[in-house]
Structure 1
Amino acid sequence: MQIVIIGSGNVAYHLAKAFVYKGIPIAQIFGRNEESLNKISEELQLSYSIKDLKDADLYIICVSDNSVEDVSKLITKKDCLVAHTSGSLPKEILKGEYRKSSLYPLQTFSKSKNLNYGKIPFFIEAENENDENILFELASKVSENVMKGSYEKRKYIHLTAVFACNFVNHLFARAKEISDSQEIPFEYFLPLIDETVQKIHEIEPKSAQTGPAVRNDVRVLQLHEQLLKDESLEIYKTMNHSIKKMYEL
Structure 2
Amino acid sequence: MKIVIIGSGNVAYHLARAFTENKIPVSQIFGRNKSNLQLISEEVHLPYSHTQLEDADLYLICVSDGSISDVSKLIKKDNCLVAHTSGSLPKEILTGNYRKASFYPLQTFSKSVDLNYAEIPFFIEAENKKDVELLQDLAESISEKVMVSTYEKRKYIHLTAVFACNFVNHLFARAKEISDSQEIPFDYFLPLIKETTDKIKILEPKFAQTGPAVRNDERVLKAHEDLIKDEEQLKIYKVMNESIKEMYEL
Q: Please indicate the TM-score interval, normalised by the length of the shorter structure.
A: over 0.9
* Map of 1:76 onto structure 2: 76
Task: Give runs of aligned pairs for residues 117-196 of structure 1, distance below 5 A.
Answer: 117-196=117-196
SS in 1 for 2:214: helix
Q: How far does residue 200 in structure 1 lie from its aligned partner after superposition?
A: 0.4
Structure 1: gaps of 5 or more residues: none
Aligned partners of 1:63 and 1:123: how far apart in 2? Answer: 17
SS in 1 for 2:104: strand
* Map of 1:243 onto structure 2: 244
Q: How far does residue 79 in structure 1 lie from its aligned partner after superposition?
A: 2.2
For 2:243, the aligned partner's letter is S
SS in 2 for 1:177: helix
**Does residue 14 of structure 1 match 2:14?**
yes
Aligned residues between the structures: 249
> How high is the TM-score relative to the length of structure 1?
0.99
Show CA shifts across 1:203-229 (max 9, x none): 111011010111111111111112222
* Map of 2:204 onto structure 1: 204
* Map of 2:86 onto structure 1: 86
Aligned partners of 2:231 and 2:21: how far apart in 1? Answer: 47
Aligned partners of 1:177 and 1:32: how far apart in 2? Answer: 36
SS in 1 for 2:25: coil
| Structure 1 range deviating more: 227-236 or 113-122 | 227-236
**Does residue 98 of structure 1 match 2:93?**
no
Aligned partners of 2:211 and 2:128: how far apart in 1? Answer: 49
For 1:123, the aligned partner's letter is F
Task: Give runs of aligned pairs for residues 47-62 of structure 1, distance below 5 A.
Answer: 47-62=47-62
Show CA shifts across 1:175-227 (max 9, x none): 11111111101111011000000000111110110101111111111111122
For 2:189, the aligned partner's letter is F
Show CA shifts across 1:107-163 (max 9, x none): 111111111101111000000001111101111110111110000010000100110
* TM-align CA RMSD: 0.7
Q: Percent same amino acid among aligned pairs?
A: 72
For 2:90, the aligned partner's letter is P
For 1:237, the aligned partner's letter is K
Aligned partners of 2:139 and 2:60: how far apart in 1? Answer: 12
For 2:58, the aligned partner's letter is L
Aligned partners of 2:131 and 2:203: how far apart in 1? Answer: 38
* Map of 1:231 onto structure 2: 232
Show CA shifts across 1:71-94 (max 9, x none): 111111112000000010000000
Q: Deviating runs (4+, > 4 A) in structure 1?
A: none
Q: How far does residue 243 in structure 1 lie from its aligned partner after superposition?
A: 0.4
For 1:80, the aligned partner's letter is C
Aligned partners of 1:39 and 1:227: how far apart in 2? Answer: 47
SS in 2 for 1:82: strand
Structure 2: gaps of 5 or more residues: none
* Map of 2:221 onto structure 1: 221
